Amino acid sequence: MMANHQLAKAIADCGWSEFLRQLEYKAKWHERKIGAINRWFPSSKRCNSCGHILDKLPLEVREWTCPSCNSHNLRDKNAALNIKAVGQTVLACGLSSSGDQSLTDLVILG
């Protein structure tokens, strides 16, 4: 995300590392787990209904219709649902995000 100059300043301004530090602290405090997905996981471009992945999705496109299942997707909600599915897959399989198998592979196999 930092490579995108439009987003880089906004991300840098929000204190991303401080947010992660706080999140890890709170998770440990409440005995919760934190996972991270592969930075290249196509969370926005992957249809949460059927798994179809678009070749490209410009940042300015906030809504799109899946050419495979005709599902209408809101970019951010679709990405959130895909990330949630990855987290549920990891929890169901009992794997940690630091394992050898990438989360992207888990989603494709699931």
Q: Which is nearer to Zn ion, 37 or 47 (CB)?
A: 47
Asked if 53 interacts with Zn ion (CB under 5 A), we say no
Of residues 38, 28, 17, the one with CA closest to residue 105: 38
Shortest CB 48 distance to Zn ion, Å: 8
Q: Within 2-41, which residues bind Zn ion (CB under 5 A)? A: none
| SS3 of residue 26 by DSSP | helix
From the CB of 66, what's the least distance to Zn ion, in Å?
3
Q: Which of 2, 12, 20, 50 is the binder for Zn ion (CB under 5 A)?
A: 50
Number of residues in contact with Zn ion under rule CB under 5 A: 8
Report DSSP letters for 60-85, one per residue.
T--EEE-TTT--EEEHHHHHHHHHHH
**How many angstroms separate the CA atoms of 37 and 40, rounded?**
8
Give the rounded distance of the alpha carbon of 22 from its chain centre: 19
66 or 86, CB closer to Zn ion? Answer: 66
- Answer yes or no: are the C-beta atoms of 87 and 100 closer than 8 Å: no
Q: Residue 99 is encoded by which pair of tokens?
A: 């394992």
Site string for Zn ion, 68-107 (x = CB under 5 A): xx-x------------------------------------
Least Å from the CB of residue 54 to Zn ion? 10
